[in-house]
Amino acid sequence: MRRTMTEQQLEQIAALRKENYPYSFIGRELGLSPNTVKSICQRKGFAASGARKTKAEKQNAPLCRYCHKPLPETKRRGALFCSDYCRTKWYRENRKVTEIRT
């Protein structure tokens, strides 16, 4: 079964690639294969900019669960979302998943 790529996913891939994240990290965050991410980046021309991030930088950079943008450093420790908008959208889309767990 073939899934279609949404505009939001393309924007997230472009943003993360511009932040120098590797294909494997982007794929893991978005639930895609690293090869799929690589193909999309090459087709659309999403190139990394500048020096690569170190392993520690990649692991320590918390990302919003909805839009996958890096969380601002002013956010509280343990924050999962960058804004109320992202928080409500994520919970609305994942309502069934959270109801099953509780």
d(CA 2, CA 102): 31
Residue 39: pLDDT band (50, 70, 90) is very high
Q: What is the pLDDT of residue 59?
A: 65
What is the spatial distance between Cα 6 and Cα 43, in angstroms, rounded to a whole number?
A: 15
Q: Which helix (H) or strand (E) holds 26?
A: helix 23-30
Tell me if the pTM is above 0.95: no
Treating both helix axes as pointing N-terminal to C-terminal, what angle do 7-18 and 23-30 enclose, rounded to 10 degrees? 140
pLDDT digits (tens, 9 = 90+) for 5-16: 788 889 999 988
pLDDT at 58 over 70: no
Name the pLDDT band for 73 (thresholds 50, 70, 90).
Answer: confident
The confidence band for 98, taking pLDDT boundaries of 50, 70 and 90, is low
> Which residues lie across from 63 on neighbouring strands?
70
Q: Structural domains in the chain?
A: 1-61 (1.10.10), 64-102 (no CATH)
List the structure tokens of 26.
């982007």
